[in-house]
Amino acid sequence: MGCSLECPIFLCVGISALHIGIAFLQSIFYFTLTLDNIFMAIDTKALILIIAIVVVVLILIISIVRRVKRGHGQGQGPSSASMPANEQVYIGNLPYRVNERDLRDFFSSYGNIADVRIVKDRKTGRSKGYAFITFSNAREANKSLESHGQDMEGRSMVVRIAKPR
């Protein structure tokens, strides 16, 4: 669903409803009414309804803002047709002793490797057990998916196309 025109309308309606709700709540709390007048002037069910409407409007505004920030509101949502081919592969469940040379040797049979990056803990410098390999093209990266589940030093590797950042 495109959101180019609907978002500003929902946002304006939501903000207006929010202002009305806030003004109503302020009038309740800031006017100097006696306790009897407050209970006579405010129907408890109406107050609960107004608070519920304000909460729903806030949730709606937050969801619209999140959707627009992710780019889904402009028709840029993730779909296999619109996603560019990815040359980077995620390799998980790696033994901690594996180094870049081991990964290059193992995955070079699938194609030309441009880069190997083993993710390490910042404090200890020890491998976190996963890595990213960048192939020279997406076809070679897809071919490397055949190694999913294969054994490397006693551990079954997880191999997937890396998600874009």
pLDDT band with cut points at 50, 70 and 90 for residue 49 = confident
In the chain, what are the domain boundaries?
A: 6-74, 88-161
Beta-bridge partners for 120: 127
Residue 1 has pLDDT above 50, yes or no: no
Residue 31 has pLDDT above 90, yes or no: no
Query: Distance between CA atoms of 165 and 158, rounded to whole angstroms?
Result: 19
- Choose among 90, 127, 128, 125: nearest CA to 107: 90
Full-model pTM: 0.50
Pick 20 or 57 by higher pLDDT.
Answer: 57
Q: Do residues 90 and 157 make contact, with C-beta atoms less than 8 angstroms apart?
A: no
Report the range of poorest mean pLDDT among 1-10, 25-34, 95-104: 1-10
Residue 39 has pLDDT above 60, yes or no: no
SS3 labels along 121-164: CCCCCCEEEEEEEEECCHHHHHHHHHHCCCEECCEECEEEECCC
- Name the CATH topology of 88-161: Alpha-Beta Plaits (3.30.70)
- Classify each residue of 108-126 as buried b or exposed e, where b means 16 or more C-beta atoms within 10 Å of its C-beta: eebbebeebebeeeeeeee
Residue 74 has pLDDT above 50, yes or no: no
